[in-house]
Structure 1
């Protein structure tokens, strides 16, 4: 079972974390199932960017992003070449390390 290492994030996991999840699980589902309450305003339907993560290790082991995900990522705060929407990034057998960006674009949370 692959391990997801989450780098420290002041709001979601200040000390960082490590969680296990079966292959075939999205990174977002794995985090939520293990008590890391990453934002997912569209309920994991690939309609927003609130679950954006930067994959620091293990990027190549994830499924390829599709066009819809790539289009949405263009709007994500802090976009980097290894950025993925965690609701669309599906684990294979390799461990991954992710960073949750400091900010997200969540108009509901920001009262817009």
Structure 2
């Protein structure tokens, strides 16, 4: 199991958290499995930016983002050089420190123009 330190987030985990994740699991799934209710509006299909995280430590141990993820990240609020979509970032055996940005942009509902 790999340790993930989640920095404090006002709404999702005010005190921060230290969680364990299995290698091969996405950061998003690890957060959700440990009661940190990160938004994932596109159901983890790399079609929005609501699960955007900033990997403060361990970024280089993650596989590089693919072109689709890079394109989506360009639309994320608070983009940083070490930003990833947590649904696409797969945990290895290297410990991580992640920050969940304060705000998110829901491209799945805001930019889709879907009307019912």
Q: What residue in structure 2 maps to residue 91 of structure 1? A: 91
Which of structure 1's runs of 4+ aligned residues deviate more than 6 A? none
Which of structures 1 and 2 has the bigger CA Rg? Answer: 2
Distance 1:50 1:65 in 2: 16
Deviations 1:49-69 (A, max 9, x none): 000000000001111100000
Distance 2:56 2:4 in 1: 11
* Gaps in structure 1 of 5+ consecutive residues: none
Q: What residue in structure 1 maps to residue 6 of structure 2? A: 6
Deviations 1:22-70 (A, max 9, x none): 1000000000001000000000000000000000000011111000000
What's the offset of the Cα at 1:103? 0.1
What's the offset of the Cα at 1:98? 0.3
Q: What residue in structure 1 maps to residue 40 of structure 2? A: 40
Q: What residue in structure 1 maps to residue 60 of structure 2? A: 60
TM (normalized to structure 1)? 0.94
TM (normalized to structure 2)? 0.91
* Gaps in structure 2 of 5+ consecutive residues: none
- How many pairs were matched up? 110
Is it true that 1:82 corresponds to 2:82 in the alignment? yes
